[in-house]
Amino acid sequence: MKKNITKVRTTKDIIITLVLLLAGAACFAVSSTGMMILGGTIILTGLVLFFVMKNGYRIEGEGGIFSKKEHFFPDSRYDVIYSEINAGRMITDFKDEDKAIVVRLDVYTSQSGKKYAELFKYVPYDYVRQIELREVR
């Protein structure tokens, strides 16, 4: 069963936006022209960030917000990673490598510790999904 993943705003995103809006309003309230310009700029920055920042992920059918980490591996490790993820186990003993990056493993983790993984393999100009999103332990 394919689960949809959507990007959502986290509490941290909203707090950062509110702090910028309040700081801008405080600067704007000062009667100095320079501070009013600075306040307007900070308010504008806060508004732009509100519409742009979405650092969390929501998985269809699951409660809570997940964070995402991407891990990259060379092609020589593909078979081992594929078999581990396909069996529902999480890869823990591999280190990310910079050379010949062909395999990408996306891991979604919730605050409660629930983990989901998705495996991709690089085909020129794109990563193609090899394993659909599945829960791992």
Residue 41: predicted pLDDT: 96
Asked if residue 115 and residue 66 are part of one domain, the reply reads yes
Q: Do 30 and 85 lie in a common domain? A: no
Are 44 and 70 in the same domain? no
> What would the pLDDT profile of 57-70 be if each residue is shown by its tens digit?
999 988 899 999 99
- Looking at residue 75, its pLDDT comes to 87
The Cβ-side half-sphere exposure at 4, using a 13 Å CA radius, reads 4
Residue 119 tokens, joined: 């495996």
Which residue ranges in the chain fall short of pLDDT 50?
none
Last residue of a domain, one of 42, 57, 72: 57
Q: Are residues 111 and 77 in the same domain?
A: yes
Q: Are strands 126-136 and 5-8 parallel, antiparallel or unpaired?
A: unpaired
Residues 6+ apart with CB under 8 A from 80: none
- State whether 37 and 91 are in the same domain: no
Full domain range(s) for residue 23: 5-57
The reported pLDDT for the residue numbered 90 is: 86
Q: How many CB atoms lie within 10 A of CB 66?
A: 20
Total structural domains within the chain: 2
| Whether residue 42 sits in one domain with residue 75 | no
